[in-house]
Each structure stands twice: as structure tokens, then as C-alpha cells.
Structure 1
Amino acid sequence: MRRVCGLDVHKDSIYMCILYENGSKIESVFGVLTPELDKLRDLLVSHHVCEVALESTSIYWIPIWNILSVDFSLKLVNPYFIKQLPGRKSDVKDAEWIATVLQKGLIRGSYVPDRMIQCLRQYERRNHELSKNIVHAEQRMDMILQRCNIRISNYVSCISCKGYQKVVNAIISGESNPKVLVTLIHKRTLNKHGRQVVEDSLNGFVSDTDRDILRQYRDERMQMEQHKSENKAKMQAICEAHYCEELELLQTLPGIKEESAANIIAEIGVDMKMFLTASAIVGWAGLKPRNDQSAGRIKSRKITHGNKYLRKILVEAAWSAARTKDSRFMKMYQRLLARGKSKQKALIAVARKLLVLIWNMLSKKEAFNPEYKRRIQAA
């Protein structure tokens, strides 16, 4: 007799329902500490449960998955796809509903990568977080300088450029003479805006408190940059040890270098069996146009929701590929612009094309061949 289990996962509790084929059920509630999870596992083993489905609630499902994955076939379920019909609702009924739809084969599991890919993903997403924090620290530094009426950010290309950072370091060190500070700015900036204008933008009043806060933000930024470098090195070591072939394959695509290749592997892994078609992985990444049509009228063609981390990596790679001279991606990008598409839509289309190629390359273990399409057309 087939037995399945549904788990409704919360921050501090887990509601369980074991369902038999004859309709009988066993319900219970467990805590989330490791001894409680061990009790849950032992109970499932004693009842000979073959399949377990659990909701992907925040990160609370991960410890449960790690303990149960050794003994059971697990399915991680998006709560959006198993919403109950309107009516009475409770946590116990949620667990029973999950078990019911699992028993009837009405749900499919979400993609859960293996342990090594999860390690890669942790480093990659930590770097994504660090990048945002670095930008925030730079913005706070500029806010302090603006308060001091130092307006150099109005003239440099960006607040992360070397000239700007040299000025910040000099001010932290106690330098306040505009004639000295202006010598740290790149000549191109001086020629573009005029030396006197740039010098005037460096003429302000900086208090000791301002210097102290600037130093704190500067040190935070430097520490975060160091952590990013450490994470990249660890990702590189993991990829070279376990995914060397895939790392090299991905780098044959225009716009994808070593770092981007490692980030892509961290998000999608190297086994494409979880994504049966290229269209499936495109939808999972949120790069597929929405099919919103009624009475023959198209209401929307916006891209769907999906993996925002992967989408960001692919859009950055697409931008690089679209600027690669004489590449098919550059021609595709320019062709879409000529048809009246916006730069953003054209870039999304190139990113989608890249992901389709990546799926095929990893599925077949073949490098990118720019001449492949031409050979087919010639034949």
C-alpha cells in the first residue's frame, strides 16, 4: 500500500500528515530542532512512507530536506501551485492537502540542486549581496561629501572610479586643499569639464566627524571587496575540481567569461535533466514572454517571474555578447533594434537565446560552434 506524506513547514513548527491509499491518515505536529526532525524521520520510516512533499517556505525547508533526503523521495513544492479551494483552512488541513495532491500525482517538484551546487550558489548569492552593499557604501560616502559641498561626483564618470576613490582617501588622510585634490582626477575629466570647474567642486568644508564616517564606509567597502575576491576564488576552486568540463564549455559562448560561467553553474547546475526542454529552463529563469491573451487580443508580453539571480547574470552576459564584433548576438541585437524593439527588450531576447544555447551545450556536452547555423542553411 502506497503511503505519502505532506509537510506544512513554518518557522517554529512542522505539521505532518501521512496519507494511505484507503483514505486513512496520521496527523502530528513537530518542532524544528534537530531532535524533533529526527523523530519525524523515524516516524516516517516506521510507517514505510515512500514519498514526502513539503512547501518551499523561505529557507525553513532546507534543514528538513537535508535530514529526510537520505531516506525518502522528496518533492519541494511551490505553495502558489497547490493553493486550496476557498473554505476552512488550518495548518493541519494544509499538510493533508499537500499529501492528497502528492498521492494523486498533481504536483511536480521544484529544482533542488545537489550539495556541491548549493555551496556554489551560496558563494554566488553572497557576492550578489556584497555587490549591492558596496554600491550602498559608495552612495553613503558620496552623500557625506555632498553635505560638505564637495561635488566631484557631478563630474567623474562614476563614484566607484579610481580618481573619485583617490580623492576620498586623500580627504580621509586629512587633505583639504582643492589644488592638491584636483591632481588626483583623471586628465580626461579635467579636459572635459575644465580644470577650474573640477577644482571648485573640490572646495568644501570637511569636519573631523565627516572624515571619521567616511573612513568607516571606506573600510567597510574594502572589506566587502576582499570578501568578494575570496568567494570568487572558492567558487573557482570548486568548479575546477568538479565542473571543469562545463566551465570550459560555457566560456566558448561570446559574452561569458570564467566568472559568469561559474555563476551560471551555481544557479542551474550541470545536469539538464531537471529541465526537460530549453523552453522549461527559459521559463524557470523568467525570460519567457507572458502569454496573456483574451478574445484574440494580446494584453501583455512582459517576461514572467523567475530566478532573478540567473536573469541578472544572463542579461549582463547578453550585453557583452551584443557588443562582440561580428557575433550572431550582435547581429541579432541590431536586427531587433532595427525592427523597433527597445534596447531592453532586445537585450532580454539575446539573454533568452544565450540560455537556450547553454541548455543545449550542457545537455549534449558540446562547445558553442558559431558556424553551426550557417552550415545548416547552406545545406
Structure 2
Amino acid sequence: MEIVYPRACGVDVHKSFIVAVICISESIKPKYIKKRFSTFNNQLIQFREWLIENNCQNVCMESTGKYYIPVYNALESHISNVVVANPKWVKAIKGEKDDNKDAKWIADLFKFGIVRSSYIPEKDIRILREFTRYQYKLVNIRSSEKNRFQNALTTGNCKLDLVFTDVFGKSASSIVDTILSDEPYTSEDILSKVHGRCKSSTEDILSAVEGTDLNHFQKERSKIVQKHIEYVDSLLDEVQHHIDMMVLAYEDYIQLLMAIPGISRKSAIIIISELGIDVSQWSNARKLAAWAGLAPGRNESAGKKKSVKISKVVSTLNHALFRLHMLLSRIRHAATMQKNLTEFPSVAARSVPS
């Protein structure tokens, strides 16, 4: 095999230390230089200077959790070619594993150029990605708390969810606050909280509230959940404010993505935070879809196709694009049905149940 990088460094990354091995293949027999560094920032700077002293501008490390990020930050903009590889591409042979051998194995593989690089966007995009992923987590937390609050009402024989579309709407929230208060209330107090445009009948609302059985401690627990929901809402507002400030430089790209049917502003920001603004990392759309976890892999041996799973490595992008996929599928289905109704009205009429 042809040696692509005559000087290549393999790095075995751990939480508290790294082991680096520089492979110099400028003669028939390769030469190896090994050194160990701590993951403290001053030691990582020494690691960077050690690479520069040995004229090594090609570094490869495996993406070990979050431990590789400080190393990558120290090398970024100082070392020209830093590759972060999926562990499956640099996995060592069993029985031949230790820190020094792992780093040497990575260097040996990397010098031939056979190690695929993971996509690492520029720093501004990485920071935006941290915010959008945190926003996604906060939304999930809020949904869990809302479900917990709804369950508390259900176990207390409060059936407001049967008469209101949204238990956290204006009318339902006012009624729930009245129920959770320690003050006695009447039917008139409940009905006074209902908004004038509410479509539910007064009889159904009173029936849903009648018989509510929540003791003092159940009410206090529900109030705690309410406070947590309000706190998460405030955090989401703060996170959204920072996201809006960070995406000012990408407004043109956001508007371009929003021109696609089904892409909202929030979805456009998520796509940019995960993919960046330069998609040249992927040679075609199919590879990008596979990287995003929206396409199954290829697993074939001896002419037999084996089962494959869809990757879940980028959950936020996966959900955003999956929603778009479902929307476009509905649009295509509706267009097909409309075409059938136009071209074959008699057949379509017979297929519609009476």
C-alpha cells in the first residue's frame, strides 16, 4: 500500500492522559517516537509543540466520548490535518491492546490514508450545536414534567384533559390553580376562570372538576412540578435568545433552507448547527442522509443481505429531517390521490367507502 503521510501521529486518548506515537516512514524501516502527556491544558500545549518540533502535521485520534475534544481544541488552527476517527475504524486486534500499541496501531493505519475522518465543523457551529442540542433536551424535560403533572391530576380524579385540548392552556391552568389552592371554591369560581371563547360546555367542565380528591401533599407535589415547568420555560427562553444572537451571521442560509416546503426557522437552525454551511464533506445527498441516520447501512456477505439498523448518532438532526420526510410523504400521497381522482374518477369513486 502507498504511504500517504510519511509523518503521521496516532493518539490514544484517555480522560487523564494521552499517549502519542509519531510514525516516520521516510526510509524502508519506519521509525517511531513515543511520548505521554497529561490532559491538562499546559500539557496539551506541550504536545502541540512536540508535534511541531518533529515536523508532524498529520494527527489521528479516535473519538473517545468527550475526552478527545480538549485535545482537538489544542491542535485546531495549529496542526493542518487533525483527523478524529470513529473507534470502529481504528479498533486494535484483541490480545494486542495497550496504550502504547493502540497509539502505534492508529499511526500505522493513518499513514496509509485508510482511516475515515469524522465530520468536525468549525468552532462557531460546534457552539451553536451545543445550544440546539441542549434546547432539545430541555424540551424533552418539559414534556416529561407536563406528563407527570397530568398524571398527578388523573390520580386525583381530575378529568380536565377530557374537556380541554390543552391542560396547560389559559382556562385549564386557571382552573387547576384554583383546585391546587388551599382556599375553598364553588362552581361559580370554577366557571369564572373559563375563557369566553372556550368551546367546552359548563356542564362538562364542572363534571370534570367534581369529585377531585387531592390531599395536601399531592397538591404540594403538583405545585413543585408546576414550578419546574415554569423554570424550564424560562431557561428555554434564555437559550433561544442566545441562539438567535449566534445565528445572525447565518441568516441568509436560514432563509434559503426555509424556502424548502416544511422547513421552519427552528428546523433550519438545527440543520445548520448539525451540518454547518459547507456540505462538501459528503460527496452526494445519499451519504449525507446515511450520516444523519436516515438511511440503513449496507451489510452483505456471500451474496446474502443481512439486517441493518438506522444510525442514531445525530438525534436532533434525525428528528428534524424525519419530520420533514413525513410531511413530504403526506404531500406526495395527497398529490397521488388527487391525480387518481382526476384521471380515474370512476375507479376512485368505487374505492371510497360509503
* Aligned residue runs from structure 1 range 22-61, under 5 A: 22-61=29-68
Paired residue secondary structure (2:280): helix
Once the 2 structures are TM-superposed, how far is the Cα of residue 133 of structure 1 from its aligned partner?
A: 0.9
Once the 2 structures are TM-superposed, how far is the Cα of residue 136 of structure 1 from its aligned partner?
A: 1.9
Paired residue secondary structure (1:6): strand
2:135 to 123, 127, 130: 127
Paired residue secondary structure (2:262): coil
Once the 2 structures are TM-superposed, how far is the Cα of residue 263 of structure 1 from its aligned partner?
A: 1.4
Once the 2 structures are TM-superposed, how far is the Cα of residue 78 of structure 1 from its aligned partner?
A: 0.5
Residue-by-residue CA offset, 1:67-101 (whole Å, 9 max, x unaligned): 11122120011102222233321122111111111
In structure 2, the partner of 1:215 is: 223
Change (3 A) 1:9 1:221: same
In structure 2, the partner of 1:224 is: 232
* Aligned residue runs from structure 1 range 294-313, under 5 A: 299-300=306-307, 303-313=310-320
Paired residue secondary structure (1:64): helix
Paired residue secondary structure (2:235): helix
Paired residue secondary structure (1:273): coil
Distance 1:2 1:284 in 2: 30
Distance 1:294 1:96 in 2: 31
2:215 to 195, 203, 206: 206
Distance 2:301 2:88 in 1: 23
Change (3 A) 1:4 1:293: closer
Once the 2 structures are TM-superposed, how far is the Cα of residue 291 of structure 1 from its aligned partner?
A: 3.4
Residue-by-residue CA offset, 1:158-203 (whole Å, 9 max, x unaligned): 5544444333333344356473446656744548x93454233x62
Paired residue secondary structure (1:149): coil
Specify the code of the residue in structure 1 equivalent to 2:57. C
In structure 1, the partner of 2:281 is: 274
Change (3 A) 1:162 1:92: farther
Change (3 A) 1:333 1:280: farther
In structure 2, the partner of 1:260 is: 267
Paired residue secondary structure (2:157): coil
Q: Please give the TM-score of this superposition, normalised by the length of structure 1.
A: 0.77
* Aligned residue runs from structure 1 range 53-202, under 5 A: 53-72=60-79, 73-153=81-161, 156-157=164-165, 159-174=167-182, 177=185, 179=187, 180-181=189-190, 184=193, 187-190=198-201, 194-200=204-210
In structure 2, the partner of 1:331 is: 332
Residue-by-residue CA offset, 1:87-118 (whole Å, 9 max, x unaligned): 32112211111111111111121100111111
* Aligned residue runs from structure 1 range 324-363, under 5 A: 330-332=331-333
Q: Please give the TM-score of this superposition, normalised by the length of structure 2.
A: 0.82
Asked if the contact 1:8/1:94 (under 8 Å) is kept, the reply is yes
Decide which moves more: 246-255 or 39-48: 39-48
Asked if the contact 2:294/2:322 (under 8 Å) is kept, the reply is no
Distance 1:12 1:41 in 2: 17
Consecutive unaligned residues of structure 2, counting only runs of 5 or more, are: 338-354
Asked if the contact 1:124/1:263 (under 8 Å) is kept, the reply is yes
The structure with the largest helix share of the pair is 1
Paired residue secondary structure (2:8): strand
Consecutive unaligned residues of structure 1, counting only runs of 5 or more, are: 324-329, 337-379
Distance 1:306 1:205 in 2: 43
Q: Does 1:235 align with 2:243?
A: yes
Change (3 A) 1:42 1:291: closer
In structure 2, the partner of 1:370 is: none
Distance 2:103 2:200 in 1: 63
Asked if the contact 1:286/1:303 (under 8 Å) is kept, the reply is yes
Distance 1:286 1:333 in 2: 26
